[in-house]
Structure 1
């Protein structure tokens, strides 16, 4: 980080995009913020990696599709240098999921954010807080649902000989209102408990729900108290009705 004129610690940013107009626009927007400085620009993944090694930025903004070495190919190498936020027109679900798997700390789709939201997203990612625009968030939710469903089916098959049909509904990743009422969970707590049961960690839950990790922890503490559990595994077992 660099020191700004008023003594605040500023973030040093690398912008990687093959479109020179977009690079110039992003540089202008970010440079207008007192606590952000664009230290380098790059036109492809290879140039981005070389610039990252030379300038050691605090945050890297990375496009997905670029000639030569594209953003997805460069991402695993860049995340070893600094937090990376994808900033792109590419909104395909598979790309968003793959970017997160490879270590991206955020994913912004052009047209879904304001300049103020962009600068705040850079600050968030630089501070270790994930940031996603709506399309990217929906892609992650789709992945969570698919993952939860895939894990629920084997469990249903293995337990079906031992349980009666009314209990089958309790094996689904998302439980009904009766279970929520039985444990006296609020709507938000039930939502977070669903995400816990799907295997998400606190950081992922915070990103999906657009809340801080501290708030997630507070919710989880209340959930554990209501379910009378002390671990995620115990809570998930009770929530899904397999305790």
Structure 2
């Protein structure tokens, strides 16, 4: 069972999101918060598998709450839930350690897919957000490609292969199956890659993998 903490300052939004999550037999909402500070306190108390945080909340916004949850509850994955898709929100959310970004206006299936993906150690961007990020990347693709390739050049061939599969959105279990290794080995590779590249999370690594041309075509 995937244990989820839901934080949003609007009661009707919380009710709607809770109903969507409750429709999945493998997901359980264990706590709800109406502001960011309460979300951090409840995360520390309940240690959920996934914290689903709205970006705009009183007392402590979702971006700062995400950073604090990742600092104090390292086993809890964070996914941002918002109506906003501006560049600064996306980049700041990812920089705060969020592993996913889902729009409230998206398909309910995106929410369920995102929760499952980040729980399994993967990363998830809703299609609208993903297209937006890739469009922004495409504007400076050539220079980004050279920079990204230079950053990943120090990785071993196996590490680059794992990074490419992270960029393809595969979970640790899926990467292990693809490479015919145990999941623990993949976790070690991912940790080493993030450390060597000085990155906070898999979403940042996935973007770098795309920029470097490491993501397999199929």
Q: Please indicate the TM-score interval, normalised by the length of the shorter structure.
A: 0.5 to 0.7
Q: Does 1:206 align with 2:199?
A: no
Structure 1 residue runs of 4 or more that deviate by more than 3 Å after TM superposition: 142-154, 212-218
Give the unaligned 5+ runs of structure 1: 1-9, 155-195, 219-235, 237-243
C-alpha deviation, 1:202, in angstroms: 2.8
Work out whether 1:139 is the aligned partner of 2:101.
no
Kept in 1: contact 2:110–2:126 (CA 8 A):
no
TM-score w.r.t. the length of structure 1 is 0.58
Which SS does the other structure have where 1:21 is aligned?
helix
Match of 1:178 in 2: none
Q: Which has the higher contact order (CA 8 A, sep 6+)?
A: 2
Which residue number corresponds to residue 13 of structure 1? 4
| Counterpart Cα distance in 2 of 1:216 and 1:131 | 19
Partner of 1:183: none
Decide whether the 8 Å contact of 2:122 with 2:166 is kept in 1: no
Deviation of the 1:143 alpha carbon? 4.8
Which of 119, 129, 146 is the equivalent residue of 1:126? 119
What count of residue pairs does the alignment treat as equivalent? 163
Aligned to 1:41: 32
Residue segments in structure 2 that go unaligned for 5+ positions in a row: 148-159, 181-211, 213-218
TM-score by length of 2: 0.64
1:94 pairs, out of 88, 105, 108, with 88
Q: Is residue 19 of structure 2 the alignment partner of residue 28 of structure 1? A: yes
Alignment partner of 1:67 is 2:58: yes
Please, what is the CA RMSD of the aligned residues? 3.0
Distance in 1, Cα, partners of 2:86 & 2:23: 31
TM-superposition CA deviations, 1:162-182 (whole Å, max 9, x none): xxxxxxxxxxxxxxxxxxxxx
Question: 2: distance between equivalents of 1:63 and 1:142?
Answer: 24
SS in 1 for 2:48: coil
Distance 1:43 1:149 in 2: 44
